[in-house]
Amino acid sequence: MKLSKVLLLVVTLAMILAVIGCGASAPAAQPAPAKEQPAQAEKAPAAEKTYADLVVGYAQIGAESEWRTANTASIKEEAEKLGVELKFSDAQQKQENQIKAIRSFIAQQVDVIGVSPVVETGWETVFQEAKDAGIPVILVDRRAAVPEDLYTTYLGSDFVEEGRRAGEAMDKILGGKGKIVELVGTVGSAPANDRAKGFREYIADKPGMEIIASQSGDFTRAKGKEVMEAFLKTHGKDITALYAHNDDMAIGAIQAIEEYGLKPGEDIKIVSVDAVRGAFEAMIAGKLNCTVECNPLLGPQFYDLALKVVNGQEVPKWVPSEEGVYYPEEAAALLPERKY
Ligand code: AHR
């Protein structure tokens, strides 16, 4: 073989070996390093819901009073205004109907359930069902006696405080001395339990103020009248004052007192709770001596809470409503601006 050929062969072999050698020592091809991603990027955060996305189920008690009518109007009108889809149920004052409504809201997979519990007890099972379905429950207007993990928040009044305020007003009006009859709200309801409690708390150290009879008028005008008639039949002119857990029962009782031949507001002093328009009219007519406010216009705060809750925002366990106490002297000036 010619020397030039031998050289060519050697050079070629060397090149082949170099290529093979390089290949062997080259680091194994690595996949391109993954771009560092923020933790959430893998799972895009759910877009914030707006009012227009909200589907709300609302289990209302019924239409037992002027107060309730105003409350229902506030819940419905605000939904309409905000564009919330509202599924509204009127339970006609029956707990079993409210429970049925809640179960139907769960089946329809609403975003939030609002409920004003007609009575305090008996809610654990159905609230647990809502919790298991991942649907938050907001108590509106009335509390329920359930563990705190079964509801998200309570929006409404301090009924015990309303009772104390009524006691204080009665004390002022009677000058610390009187025989009082009491028209209680729906038996077992939070406002009936708490307004009775607060009133008793206040008069506990007023030996001159005595409750001589106490019975439920179920928060209605008709029942208030009927029970007042029975009180008058039994106690007649011994009665110097009436404490009614709501204005509607007081208004019914006013009729009974007049029919009995006595003057409401004079012969029998009257303090009630709610501060609805009818109470202001009765005060202007001199037939009612005081009304303690309980605010029914809860629609705006309710949907604000509902939206926060579905968007995972923290809300307080109790959102109290602001309320006043009203006497006849200011009734005429305030009536035109009363919304309910
Ligand atoms: O829960 C609020 C009470 O319910 C109101 O005071 C009464 O009028 C209503 O029916």
Q: Mind giving me the DSSP string for 55-120?
A: EEEEEE----SHHHHHHHHHHHHHHHHHT-EEEEEE-TT-HHHHHHHHHHHHHTT-SEEEE--SSS
Q: Identify whether 12 is part of a domain.
A: no
pLDDT at 2 over 90: no
C-alpha closest to that of 256 among 181, 167, 331: 181
Q: Identify whether 35 is part of a domain.
A: no
Residue 282 C-beta-side C-alpha neighbours within 13 Å: 31
Q: Identify whether 29 is part of a domain.
A: no
- Residue 246's domain spans which residues? 159-294
Q: Identify whether 16 is part of a domain.
A: no
Q: Are residues 207 and 187 in the same domain?
A: yes
pTM: 0.86
Q: Residue type at 339?
A: K
Q: Identify whether 116 is part of a domain.
A: yes
Q: Identify whether 70 is part of a domain.
A: yes
Tell me the CA–centroid distance for residue 165 and ligand 1, in Å. 16
CA–CA distance, 278 with 245 (Å, rounded to integer): 15
Tell me the CA–centroid distance for residue 1 and ligand 1, in Å. 117
Q: What is the largest CA-CA distance in the chain?
A: 146
C-alpha closest to that of 157 among 166, 149, 148: 166
Ligand 1, from 61, 64, 65, 160: best to mutate by most atoms within 8 Å of Cβ?
65
The predicted structure's pLDDT at residue 10: 45
Q: Are residues 260 and 246 in the same domain?
A: yes
Q: Are residues 166 and 265 in the same domain?
A: yes
Ligand 1, from 141, 154, 155, 277: best to mutate by most atoms within 8 Å of Cβ?
141
Dihedral of alpha carbons 15, 17, 20, 21, sign: negative
Tell me the CA–centroid distance for residue 336 and ligand 1, in Å. 22
CA–CA distance, 156 with 190 (Å, rounded to integer): 11
Tell me the CA–centroid distance for residue 288 and ligand 1, in Å. 18
pLDDT at 43 over 80: no
Ligand 1, from 92, 118, 219, 298: best to mutate by most atoms within 8 Å of Cβ?
219
CA–CA distance, 291 with 172 (Å, rounded to integer): 13
Q: Are residues 164 and 186 in the same domain?
A: yes
Give backbone dihedrals phi and psi of 143, rounded to 5 degrees, phi first.
-80, 165
Average per-residue pLDDT for the chain? 90
CATH of the domain at 125: 3.40.50.2300
Query: pLDDT tens digits, residue range 45-63?
Result: 678 999 999 999 999 999 9
Q: Quote the tokens at residue 96.
A: 């079993």
Q: Are residues 182 and 284 in the same domain?
A: yes
The predicted structure's pLDDT at residue 42: 59
CA 328, 333, 338 angle in degrees (round to 5)? 95
Tell me the CA–centroid distance for residue 203 and ligand 1, in Å. 22
* Pairing mode of beta strands 112-115, 209-216: unpaired
Give backbone dihedrals phi and psi of 54, rounded to 5 degrees, phi first.
-75, 135
Q: Are residues 236 and 314 in the same domain?
A: no
Q: Are residues 69 and 168 in the same domain?
A: no
Q: Identify whether 333 is part of a domain.
A: no
Q: Are residues 80 and 142 in the same domain?
A: yes
Q: Are residues 290 and 164 in the same domain?
A: yes
Q: Are residues 150 and 169 in the same domain?
A: no
Pocket of ligand 1 (CB under 6 A): 64-65, 67-68, 141-142, 191, 219, 246, 248, 273-274, 294
Query: pLDDT tens digits, residue range 121-135?
Result: 999 999 999 999 999
Q: Which residue puts its alpha carbon closest to atom 3 of ligand 1?
A: 191
What value does the mean pLDDT take over residues 269-288?
98
> What is the 8-class DSSP label of residue 30?
P
**Dihedral over alpha carbons 166, 172, 177, 183 (to 10 degrees):** -20
Q: Identify whether 316 is part of a domain.
A: yes
**How many domains, the chain?**
2
Query: pLDDT tens digits, residue range 177-210?
Result: 999 999 999 999 999 999 999 999 999 999 999 9
Q: Which residue puts its alpha carbon closest to atom 4 of ligand 1?
A: 68
Q: Are residues 165 and 80 in the same domain?
A: no
Q: What percent of the chain has pLDDT over 90?
A: 85
* Pairing mode of beta strands 137-140, 112-115: parallel
Q: Are residues 166 and 281 in the same domain?
A: yes
Q: Quote the tokens at residue 247.
A: 């204005």
Q: Quote the tokens at residue 62.
A: 């019924």
